[in-house]
């Protein structure tokens, strides 16, 4: 039987349909070290304003998800203080003077519990929302995310966060292989490299949506004006 909660929005490569009761918002790695001036990301020479620009849209998306009682997931790219979950290959590929676990401007770089590893204050998780510490780029690898989504019967994922071509794309590909339908909110994701963001959006929705769908946040909020099916 078709659920009365099934909604459809304009997206690419075509309409994206989802059931509000089976949808989760997944906000990837909006952590201080990647986004705030003076953090790890900026210390590597990146223009963090490209990432900071999406914060108001991600905040509005979080408010939308909370209003509509979606399950909300936040991820942090982070490692244990003893680096037991950080493969040497990952650590050694970092900048020689700023490797994972080294002292950075906001505490030890990408280490759980350090100030720089916290989610930025405007997007802070609320009680009841799931925070996933992930040692990889993908949100499913070596985490309990899959089990948490299965317990709640989630079938559709809405993605936001940073960076588009690295942790967001990897997580969407992992979700795709696990059978989720995924939507990436175009103006709620960013990269230090605008060309990589554009290429990733194109890739995700190519070949009939080989990884998923993309849409601007404005497509999502149009639903509020056209239906009362939200619960
Ligand atoms: N969260 C995430 O994407 N981690 C990265 O390391 N991204 C880069 O673009 N480097």
Tens of pLDDT, residue by residue over 56-107, are 999 999 999 999 999 999 999 999 999 999 999 999 988 888 899 999 999 9
Is the per-residue pLDDT at 187 higher than 90? yes
Catalytic residue chosen out of the listed positions 29, 86, 181, 197: 29
Is the per-residue pLDDT at 192 higher than 70? yes
Residue 229's pLDDT is: 43
Residue 176's pLDDT is: 98
Alpha helices in 76-168 (DSSP H): 88-92, 145-151
Q: Is 138 buried (19+), middle (13-18) or exposed (0-12) by CB count in 10 A?
A: buried
Q: Does the annotation mark 197 as catalytic?
A: no
Atom of ligand 1 nearest to the CA of 168: 3
Alpha helices in 105-144 (DSSP H): none
Is the per-residue pLDDT at 197 higher than 90? yes
Least confident of 17-26, 41-50, 205-214: 41-50
Q: Tell me: the pLDDT tens digits for 41-58?
A: 998 899 999 999 999 999
Confidence of residue 231 (pLDDT cuts 50, 70, 90): very low
Ligand 1: distance of its center to the CA of 158 in Å? 19
Q: Which of 142, 137, 126 is nearest to 25 (CA)?
A: 126
Q: What are phi and psi of 74, to 5 degrees?
A: -115, 140
Ligand 1 contacts (CB < 6 A) are 29, 77, 162-163, 166-167
Is the per-residue pLDDT at 227 higher than 70? no
Ligand 1: distance of its center to the CA of 65 in Å? 24
Residue 226's pLDDT is: 53
Distances (CA, A) of 15 to 107, 111, 165: 44, 40, 23
CA distance 28 to 169: 10
Q: Tell me: the pLDDT tens digits for 145-186?
A: 999 999 999 999 999 999 999 999 999 999 999 999 999 999
Q: Tell me: the pLDDT tens digits for 115-141?
A: 999 999 999 999 999 999 999 999 999
Residue 119's pLDDT is: 98
Residue 4's pLDDT is: 58
Q: Which of 24, 38, 32 is nearest to 78 (CA)?
A: 32
Least confident of 13-22, 160-169, 186-195, 222-231: 222-231
Residue 223's pLDDT is: 87
CA distance 107 to 122: 20
Confidence of residue 1 (pLDDT cuts 50, 70, 90): very low
Q: Does the annotation mark 29 as catalytic?
A: yes
Mean predicted confidence (pLDDT) in 213-220? 98
Q: Does the annotation mark 86 as catalytic?
A: no
What's this model's pTM, rounded to 2 decimal places? Answer: 0.95
Residue 95's pLDDT is: 85
């Amino acid at each position: 039987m078709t659920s009365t909660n099934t909604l459809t929005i304009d997206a690419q490569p075509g309409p994206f349909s989802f059931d509000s009761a089976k949808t989760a918002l997944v906000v990837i790695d909006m952590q201080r070290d990647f986004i705030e001036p003076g953090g790890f990301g900026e210390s590597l020479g990146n223009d963090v304003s490209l990432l900071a620009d999406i914060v108001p849209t991600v905040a509005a998306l979080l408010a939308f998800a909370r209003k509509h009682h979606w399950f909300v997931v936040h991820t942090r790219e982070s490692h244990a203080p003893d680096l037991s979950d950080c493969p040497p290959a990952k650590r050694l590929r970092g900048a020689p003077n700023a490797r994972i676990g080294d002292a950075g401007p906001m505490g030890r770089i990408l280490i759980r519990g350090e100030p720089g590893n916290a989610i930025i204050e405007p997007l802070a998780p609320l009680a009841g929302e799931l925070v996933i510490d992930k040692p990889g780029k993908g949100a499913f690898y070596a985490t309990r995310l899959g089990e948490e989504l299965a317990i709640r019967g989630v079938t559709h994922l809405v993605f936001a966060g940073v960076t588009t071509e690295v942790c967001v794309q990897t997580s969407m590909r992992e979700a795709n292989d696990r059978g989720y339908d995924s939507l990436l909110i175009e103006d709620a994701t960013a990269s230090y490299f605008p060309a990589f963001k554009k290429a990733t959006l194109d890739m995700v929705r190519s070949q009939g949506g080989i990884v998923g769908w993309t849409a601007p946040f404005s497509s999502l909020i149009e639903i509020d004006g056209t239906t009362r099916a939200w619960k």
